[in-house]
C-alpha cells in the first residue's frame, strides 16, 4: 500500500448461527437476476407492495404471504460452499442464494449433489473467506459493515477485504453488492490515508474485465502517484503491473493525459540538441553546431 498524495478481518464461520444474524426483518425487491436485499418492510418498493397487495384485498393475508415469502427463501435445501485455500465451509440456504444471483442458480443446475440429490456443493478456492463473510452478511441482512465505524487499525484490513469482495461479486454477478464494496473500499482508503500499491493493483487487472470500474480507479491512483512531485512513486514503482498487463500501462498513460489538463510538453525537436546526444557522465557538447 502507498500513501496517496495530499490525501488526508475477520474469521470465517461454519454456520449461519455463529454469525448471530437476525434475518427475519428483511424483505426483498425482485429485479430479475440481480435482486437487492433491503433492510425493512418500510424500505420495500411500491412496486413490490403493489404486486403483493394485488394477490388479496386483505392486509392480514398480505402479511401472511410476505411471511411465506421469507420462509421460502430461508428454507429448503442447503448449499455447501468451500472458500479459499483453507476450504472454509459454509452451509447456506440454496433459495436465498439463487434469489440474489443467477450464478448460484447455474451452480444448482450444473453442480454436484453429494447427499443423494439433496444438497449442492460449490467450491470457491480462489476467493477470500473474508470477502465471503461479507457476502453472507449482505445476503441475510441486506448490508455490510461501514468502515467509518471501525477503529483505525482495522480499517485497512477491511479495505482489502472489500477489494476481494468486489472480485468475488464480479465473478458471481452480484452488481449491487459489488457497488457497495467499491464504496467502502474508496471510503476506507480516504479515511486511512493510504492507497493500494502495485502488488494490490495487479490482481484487479488479472481478475476483472477491461470495462471494470475498479481498473479505472487503480489506474487513476497510479497515475496520480506518478505525477505528484511530492510522492516517492514513479513509473518504475508499477513495473510489475506494466509487465503483467499492457492494459494497465495504457490506462495509466490515458489517466495522466486526462489529468494533465491539456498542458503540452515542449516540442522535443526544438530543444537543445545536446539533450539527445550520448556523452560521458556530466559532459555536454560545446560546438554550436550541436544546438
pLDDT tens for residues 126-185?
A: 999 999 999 999 998 889 999 999 999 999 999 999 999 999 999 999 999 999 999 999
**How many helices (DSSP H) and strands (DSSP E) are in the chain?**
11, 3
pLDDT reported for residue 11: 38
Q: Other C-beta atoms within 10 Å of 20: how many?
A: 7
Q: Which residues of 118-150 are buried (b: 16+ CB within 10 A; e: fewer)?
A: ebbebebeebbbbbbbbbbbbbbbbebbebeeb
Bridge-partner residues for 81, per DSSP? Answer: 90, 122
pLDDT reported for residue 121: 84
Domain 1-195 in this protein, CATH class: alpha beta
Query: What is the SS3 assignment for 174?
Result: coil
pLDDT reported for residue 21: 38
Answer whether 166's CB lies under 8 Å from 178's CB: yes
Q: Other C-beta atoms within 10 Å of 87: how many?
A: 12
> What are the residues whose beta carbons fall under 8 Å from the beta carbon of 264, sequence distance 6 or more?
none
Alpha carbon distance 291, 270 (integer Å):
9
- Which parts of the chain are beta strand (E)? 78-83, 88-93, 120-124
Alpha carbon 1 to its chain's center: 17
Distances (CA, A) of 184 to 40, 54, 158, 190, 224: 22, 38, 9, 10, 21
| Best CA proximity match to 14, nearest among 180, 174, 132, 144 | 132
> What are the residues whose beta carbons fall under 8 Å from the beta carbon of 252, sequence distance 6 or more?
219, 222, 223, 226, 238
User: Does this model's pTM top 0.75?
Assistant: no
**Segment-wise mean pLDDT, segments of 10 residues, the chain, 291 residues:** 54 39 36 36 37 43 57 78 94 88 86 54 93 93 94 96 97 94 97 94 94 96 92 91 94 91 80 79 63 45
Boundaries of every domain in the chain: 1-195, 196-291
pLDDT reported for residue 29: 35
Query: What is the SS3 assignment for 142?
Result: coil
pLDDT reported for residue 288: 55
Q: Which residues of 264-283 are buried (b: 16+ CB within 10 A; e: fewer)?
A: eeeeeeeeeeeeeeeeeeee
pLDDT reported for residue 23: 37
In this structure, the dihedral spanned by the alpha carbons of residues 128, 129, 134 and 139, taken in order and rounded to 10 degrees, is: 110
Amino acid at each position: 500500500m502507498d500513501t496517496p498524495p495530499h490525501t488526508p478481518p475477520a474469521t470465517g464461520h461454519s454456520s449461519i448461527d455463529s454469525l448471530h444474524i437476525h434475518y427475519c426483518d428483511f424483505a426483498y425487491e425482485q429485479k430479475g437476476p440481480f435482486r437487492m436485499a433491503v433492510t425493512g418492510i418500510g424500505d420495500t418498493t411500491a412496486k413490490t407492495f403493489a404486486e403483493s397487495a394485488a394477490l388479496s384485498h386483505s392486509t392480514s393475508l398480505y402479511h401472511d404471504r410476505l411471511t411465506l415469502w421469507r420462509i421460502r427463501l430461508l428454507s429448503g435445501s442447503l448449499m455447501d460452499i468451500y472458500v479459499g485455500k483453507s476450504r472454509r465451509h459454509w452451509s447456506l440456504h440454496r433459495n436465498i442464494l439463487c434469489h440474489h444471483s443467477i450464478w448460484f442458480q447455474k451452480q444448482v443446475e450444473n453442480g454436484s449433489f453429494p447427499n443423494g440429490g439433496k444438497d449442492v456443493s460449490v467450491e470457491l478456492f480462489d476467493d477470500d473467506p473474508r470477502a465471503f463473510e461479507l457476502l453472507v452478511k449482505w445476503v441475510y441482512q441486506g448490508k455490510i459493515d461501514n468502515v467509518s465505524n471501525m477503529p483505525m487499525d482495522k480499517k485497512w484490513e477491511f479495505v482489502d477485504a472489500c477489494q476481494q469482495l468486489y472480485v468475488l461479486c464480479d465473478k458471481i454477478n452480484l452488481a449491487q453488492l459489488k457497488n457497495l464494496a467499491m464504496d467502502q473500499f474508496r471510503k476506507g482508503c480516504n479515511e486511512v490515508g493510504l492507497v493500494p500499491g502495485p502488488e494490490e493493483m495487479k490482481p484487479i487487472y488479472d481478475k476483472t474485465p477491461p470495462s471494470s470500474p475498479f481498473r479505472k480507479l487503480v489506474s487513476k491512483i497510479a497515475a496520480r502517484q506518478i505525477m505528484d512531485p511530492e510522492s516517492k512513486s514513479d513509473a518504475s514503482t508499477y513495473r510489475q503491473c506494466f509487465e503483467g498487463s499492457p492494459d494497465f500501462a495504457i490506462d495509466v498513460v490515458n489517466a495522466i493525459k486526462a489529468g494533465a489538463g491539456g498542458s503540452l510538453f515542449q516540442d522535443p525537436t526544438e530543444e537543445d540538441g545536446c539533450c539527445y546526444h550520448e556523452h560521458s557522465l556530466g559532459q555536454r557538447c560545446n560546438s554550436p553546431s550541436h544546438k
